[in-house]
Chains A and B, each alone.
Chain A
């Protein structure tokens, strides 16, 4: 017997018990319990009669350097990080969006160099664009760009490079991140991620 059928049977027996209570018991409080049982049983039976759809979680993605054979593999991992652990999509959209709170990143890989994107992720206050204006009323929940390589997001260097590879690929640009730049576990890092917080605040025009 399926789980739904079992639950339907339980629901039916609860409704039946409620009806028996109302028919044969005189004590008012018990009768009210019987009435409540009928209502709850009917509710359960109705819910069991509609299409039963459970939401199953997708397979969990982990950054495994052994699976990265080409820059396209790296971009594919970067895309997953962009929409999950990296939390980029909490604020940014790819293409115009009503709900985006921060700049639209469509074509960003073509507009900005990979070093600049890397710096924007790890030193978000180093350069501030003055020409980013959202059309219409200001957003109610202005968000400040966080340090992506620090807690609570805390992306590793490999993960940040993968996100850059994704942004470049999504913008139709050739991926400039090479596989040799990735840190291999157990080896000394090729170029450690550095977030220089003492960098002077500069203001740049985005052109």
Chain B
């Protein structure tokens, strides 16, 4: 300890010339680290240290916050390139420059967001090594080869990102643009595998497979290829697209609310529309990926599935239903506001369908949120004849929940189609037949989904899970795959009866975009807690027990407070990243560096504006 004290004094002397702030920072960091060093020293007398702790905060809470922020940031930096690349392709194929500028505006965020994500990743790694040395040693022993692959992927991703971002203006025409789009693909390819590799570590903890003897690569590969690896990969990939889209929407919403001129309002209204569109685009297939993941968990270990759906985590799924329900309502509401305010004259035409959709969504949400068992006093339970309510108990089971989830997806899809078709008159001769066909498909699909749902009550669970629920999912996918291309074909020859007007949305539209983003982030934090808690008192399920004081899973209420805190921190971090990334552009605009001819990158007017307005100018 004497020696340690001397070292600290030497450090103070060395940094003396660098200003008091650095000393202060080191003091704060040191005060956090020192207690853990003390505990580690105690551990060494009785064998290798298995755990370290930190006073007041607790090692588990600290790791929870940092890991959650890292994961959310990672979702953001993996979602944004997909979003940006999709926008770039739309611009490339359609020639609409505003999409290209939007893509560039978001790619600019990546450099600072990427650094922040890596920073949190580094902090997380140090914390894990310090607080959970035994677990990290075990995982390193198994996964070491994949650590190297991960580092290599990082190098490739960074190099590609630099080329993609810095080469944007230089690669705008002809073959160079094609190469730039290819770079975007490569960026997303590496980003996907940067997500896939650590997913193997996390999913191995939840669904480990037996590791036999073999070479390091064989062992790592055997552990990587575990039952929940691919379901989580696909689920996270889609969720990242949703996150990217809705965060873009929220950013646009905030900027729309604080817009100072018409151009800004037009641009951020349009950006909000694009963000919401991409968010919904990802949201529709997301429940299917979630269903696949849950099914694999049940297949892997029924007990784990029961812990999640019927055990102490069962109420979590009521909260999940609430958040998803609000997200669906928020997304639909934004579509309906768009129809009402952007397409003059549509309000009366679509009022009734919108009202019907709202009623269906609310009814579905009510069913989805009905708990399986009710909290009741002994007297109440006696009156009900058990904890299952005679009427509501019917809605508390999976068959009902799967049915309403599919119906909500169908309604949201129809909302989107309605928005797409609003303000246009179809001119194709076969339009009537196509419309009748689409209506028929929709009605029959809805009836089939409901029939399968009701039938599901009367068959064994395994038949319902394997055949009925999957059939419901396939029916909804069929509807989407049939109606989307038909609508696209119909609208190809349609004439626009009412031009879309940007910048007229009421302020609540901006708030609904913010609400959607918060719901997605909360959902990610909630399901992260579910995934982690499903392992109960195991670091690696059934293999390595958690023998730390934090082996318990906290109750939902206290966990939710931490989730809310993490969501808030993340929102502030993203706001900071947006602020930093656009700071230079604002300064340029203030100093009039770009004159009136051409606006600099990131300036609102540059990245969009309504085609109608551009045409008029």
Contact = CB atoms under 8 A, between A and B. Distances in A.
Interface of A: 3-4, 7, 10-11, 28-29, 31-32, 35-37, 39-41, 43-44, 46-48, 50-58, 60, 83-85, 87, 89-91, 97-99, 140-141, 143-147, 150, 152
A40 B521 CA distance: 11
Q: Chain B at the A interface: mostly helix, strand, loop or mixed?
A: helix
Given A40-B518, A54-B555, A84 B542 contact: yes
B546 A57 contact: yes
B12 interface: no
A40 to B, nearest CB: 4
Given A36-B568, A50-B315, A57 B537 contact: yes
B506 to A, nearest CB: 14
Contact of A55 (B533, B543, B557, B568): B533
A40 B568 contact: yes
B561 interface: yes
Contacts of B533: 55
Nearest to B557: A48
Interface stretch (B72-80, B166-174, B210-218, B495-503): B210-218
B362 interface: no
A3 B558 contact: yes
B542 A43 contact: no
B564 A44 contact: yes
Interface residues of B, number: 60
Contacts of A85: 545
Interface in B562-585: 563-564, 567-568, 571, 575
B469 interface: no
20 contacts: A29-B254, A36-B514, A48-B561, A50-B315, A50-B557, A52-B555, A52-B556, A52-B557, A54-B552, A55-B307, A55-B536, A60-B547, A87-B210, A90-B209, A90-B543, A141-B209, A143-B212, A146-B211, A152-B138, A152-B211
Contacts of A10: 561
Interface in B217-256: 225-227, 254
Interface of B: 138, 141-142, 208-213, 225-227, 254, 257-258, 298-302, 307, 311-312, 315, 318-319, 322-323, 375, 462, 511, 514-515, 518, 522, 533, 536-537, 542-543, 545-547, 551-561, 563-564, 567-568, 571, 575
A51 B209 contact: no
Contact of B257 (A32, A51, A89, A140): A32
Q: Which of B307, B522, B558 has the most CB of A within 10 A?
A: B558
Contact of A28 (B258, B323, B462, B555): B258
Contacts of A99: 298-302
A11 B561 contact: yes
A50 B553 CA distance: 16
Contact of A7 (B141, B299, B302, B558): B558
A32 B212 contact: no
Given A36-B518, A36-B571, A54 B312 contact: yes
Given A50-B318, A53-B312, A152 B299 contact: no
Nearest to B518: A39
Nearest to A40: B564
Contact of A44 (B138, B227, B561): B561
Contact of A35 (B212, B318, B511, B567): B511
Q: Which of A83, A90, A147 has the most CB of B within 10 A?
A: A90
A53 B254 contact: no
Contacts of B299: 98-99
B381 to A, nearest CB: 14
Given A10-B561, A48-B557, A55 B552 contact: yes
B95 to A, nearest CB: 34
Q: What 8 A-B pairs are tightest by C-beta distance, nearest first?
A: A47-B560, A57-B537, A48-B557, A28-B258, A52-B555, A55-B553, A40-B564, A57-B551
